[in-house]
Structure 1
Amino acid sequence: MRFLILGGTAWLGSTIATAAMHHGHKVTCLARGESGQVPVGIRFVRGDRSRPDAYAQVASEDWDVVVDVSRQPGQVTDAVQALGERAGSYTFVSSGNVYADAATPGQDERGHLLEALPGDVMESMDSYGEAKVACENRVLERFGAGRSLIIRSGLIGGPGDLSDRSGYWPLRFSEPAGADGSVLVPDTPGLLAQLIDVRDLAEWIVDAGEDGTTGIFNATGETVTLAEHLAVARAVAGHTGPIVGAAAQWLLDHKVGPWSGPRSLPLWLPLPDYAGFNARDSAAARAAGLVTRPLAQTLADTLRWERRRVPEGPRRAGLADADESALLAELAAG
C-alpha cells in the first residue's frame, strides 16, 4: 500500500512512518523538514502546509492511506481538497481534548464536543480542542464517514517524549531530589491516568489503514489510578526511598502546577473538574484492533531513553531538583 504521512519528521509522524515502512508499505512524508529527518528508506517531499502549493508534488499521485496529525484547520482544509480525489482513506489523529466534559470518567465517542474553532488558524494552545474539532469536521465533510478514520488520542508517551510528561516520573524516581531519596508526589486519591505508548498508537494507525477501518475512536492506554501509575514508575526505577505526598491545595498554594509546564507535577489534575480528562473509554478502539503494551514496559523503555537523552534547554514538565528539595523541606517542617 501507499501511505502519505503529512508530517513524518516529528515524534508521532515519524513513528507512524517507520511502522508503515516496517509493514512493507511505500511511505512518503510531506513536511517542512524542520523537526528532524525522515527515517532511512522513506521518501521525503519538502512542503510547507501554510503555502497554497504545499501539495503540488503529491496531489497527482494515488494514495491508499493519508495520515494527518495537524492542529491547524486551514492546513487540513487544503489537504483534503488537494487529495480528496486521489486518496482511498484519510486518517486524522485528533485528541481527547475535543470533548466538552472533562469531569466525567468513562465517556465514549458519543460525548459532547467543544464548539469548532471558526477560523483556519489556531493562535494558541488555549483553543487546541476547538481547533481539533474543526479539523475533524473538515475531514468528514470532504471524505465522508466511509473514507475517514478519526482517532481521538489520549496522552501519548514513550521513548522520544519531549513533553516530559511520560518520562518525568521514572526519571525522578531514578534520580530523587531529596537527600534521603525522597520523592514528592501529589496526594490525589481516585485520580485516573491513561498513557498510550506512541509505538502502539502508530502500529494501530497502520493496521487500521491496512484493514480499511473507518469511524471515530478514542485511543488511550489502560485506565489506572495515578497512584498505580506512580507505583509502576517507582518499580521500574528501582526506587526504595520515602514517598512524600502533598495535597492538591497545598501544591497549588506553593505554585506547583498540574499536568505539565515549568514547576509542575506531570499527570496530576485537579479534582473534580478534571476527573474524566484522562479517563476516556477506548473499548471501541480495542475491539477494532488496538493493542497496548504493559505500562511497565513503556515506562522502562522511556527511562532508558531519558538516561541517554541530552536535554536542549529547560525541561517542559516537572520540578527542578532545587524546587523539589525546597518543597520537601517545607513539608518536613510542617
Structure 2
Amino acid sequence: MRLLLLGGTAFLGRAVAIEAAGRGHEVTCLARGSAPPPDDVTFVRGDRDEPDGLADVRDEWDAVIDVTRQPGQVRRAVAELRTPHWVFVSTANVYAPAPGVRPVETDALVEPLAGDVMGSMEEYGPAKVACEKAVREGMAAAGGSATLARAGLIGGPGDVSGRLGYWPWRFAHPSGPDVIVPDDPDFPVAVIDVRDLAAWLVDAAEQRLDGAFNVTGEVVPLGEVLAAAARAAGARVRARPVDLPTLAELGVNAWMGPRSLPLWIDDPDLRQATALDISRAVASGLRLRPLAETLADTLAWEETRDAPRAAGLTDAEEQEIRARLDSPDTRA
C-alpha cells in the first residue's frame, strides 16, 4: 500500500509511520520537520499553511492518514490529493456535552468552526468537527470513503504531555513519604496506548473502514490506574488521597498542565467525557494491550526524557501541599 501520512515525525504520527513501515507499506510523511522522521519512510518537507505546501505529494495514494486540527489544511488537502480512502484522526471533544452519558458515534456534535484556522484550544472540538465535515464531504464527492477516528486520551512512550506518565514517574520518584492523589477512586479513566491507536489507524487504511469510530481504551477506575502505576514503579510509598474541596483550596488543577493531578477531571459535567463507547472500534478489530504494559513502557520513556514534564506536581509543589495538609490550621 502506498500510504501518505500528513505529519509523521511526532508522537502519534510517528507511531503510525513506524507501524505502517513495519508492515511493509510504502510510507511517505509530509511534515515541517520539527522532529526527525522515523527510519524506513520517505520524508517530504512541507508546510500545509503555504499555498503550495502539498505540491510535492500530489500523486495517487492508496490511503491518506491526517492528524491536523486546522480545517483549512484539511479542505486544501482533500481538494488537491488523490486517494480512494482518507483516515482522519479526530477527537472525543467533537461531542456536545451530555453529562453522565458515555458518547457513542451517533451522538450530537458541537457546531463546526466557521473559519480555516483554530485560534485557541477552546475551539479544538469545533475545529475537529469542521475537519470531519470537510473529509466526509470531499471523499463522498470523489467517490471515496473515510474513517473518522474519534480518539480519547492517548498515552504511552513519547507522550510529552505527561498526563499518564506522571503517575508511574511520581511513584518511582516520591518527594516524601506519600504521593498526593485525588480522593476520587471511581473516576472513569480511558487511555489508549499510542501504539495500539497507530495499529488500528493502519488497519483502517488497509480495510478502508467507513464512518466514525470512537477509539480509546477500556474504562478503568482512577484508583486502579494509580495502583497499577505504583506497581509499575515498584513503589514503596503509599498514595495519600486528598478530598476535592481541599485540592481546590490548595490550588491544585485537574487533568493536565502545571500544578495538576493528571487524568482526573473535577467538573462533574465532564465526568464521562473521555469514557467513550468503543464497541464499534472493537468489533472492527481494535486491539488493546494491558494497561500495566503501557505504564511500564511509559515509565521507561519518562526516565529518559530531557524536557520538563507538562503535567503534575513538582517536588517542591507536592512538598508544599503536604506541609499545608499536615499543618494544624489545615487539619482544623
TM-score by length of 2: 0.96
Structure 2 CA distance for aligned equivalents of residues 104 and 131 of structure 1: 24
- Which residue in 1 is equivalent to 2:130? 134
Q: Which residue matches 1:310?
A: 306
1:269 aligns with 2:265: yes
What is the letter of the counterpart of residue 115 of structure 1? Answer: E
> Contact 2:7/2:13 (CA < 8 Å) preserved in 1?
yes
Q: Which amino acid counterpart does residue 140 of structure 1 have in structure 2?
A: R
Letter of the structure 2 residue corresponding to residue 30 of structure 1 = L
Residue of structure 2 equivalent to 1:206: 202
Partner of 1:12: 12
Partner of 2:238: 242
Alpha-carbon RMSD: 1.2
**Matches for 1:115-154 after TM superposition, within 5 Å:** 115-144=111-140, 147-154=145-152
Partner letter of residue 127 of structure 1?
E
Q: 1:184 touches 1:324 (CA, 8 Å); kept in 2?
A: yes
Does the 8 A contact of 1:191 with 1:271 survive in 2? no
Q: Secondary structure at the match of 1:305?
A: helix
Q: Is the 8 A contact 1:101 1:111 kept in 2?
A: no
Is the contact made by 1:76 and 1:138 (CA closer than 8 Å) also made in structure 2?
yes
In 1: Cα distance, 2:310 partner to 2:279 partner: 31
Gaps of 5+ in 2: none
**Contact 2:189-2:275 at 8 Å conserved across structures:** yes
Q: Deviations over 1:271-325 (max 9, x none)?
A: 42111112110010000010010000000000011112222xx421000101101
Counterpart of 1:212, as a letter, is R
CA contact (8 A) 1:3 1:63 kept: yes
Residue 48 of structure 1 pairs with residue 42 of structure 2? no
For residues 151-193 of structure 1, give each alpha carbon's deviation from its aligned partner in whole angstroms, at most 9, with x where no partner exists: 0000000000001101100000001111x2x000001143100
Q: Give 2:277's aligned residue.
A: 281
The letter for the 2-side match of 1:50 is: D
The letter for the 1-side match of 2:43 is F
Contact 2:84-2:144 within 8 A present in 1 as well = no
Aligned to 2:102: 106
Match of 1:164 in 2: 162
In the alignment, residue 149 of structure 1 is paired with which amino acid? T
The ranges of structure 1 where at least 4 consecutive aligned residues each deviate by more than 4 angstroms after the TM superposition are none
Match of 1:185 among 164, 176, 181: 181
1:329 maps onto 2:323 in alignment: yes
Is the 8 Å Cα contact of residues 100 and 271 (structure 2) preserved in structure 1?
A: yes
SS at match of 1:108: coil
SS at match of 1:209: helix
Overall identity of the aligned pairs, in % = 52
Amino acid at match of 1:116: P
Count matched residues.
Answer: 326
8 Å Cα contact 1:92-1:151 kept in structure 2: yes
TM-score, normalised with respect to structure 1: 0.95
Q: CA–CA distance in 2 between the matches of 1:243 and 1:190?
A: 15
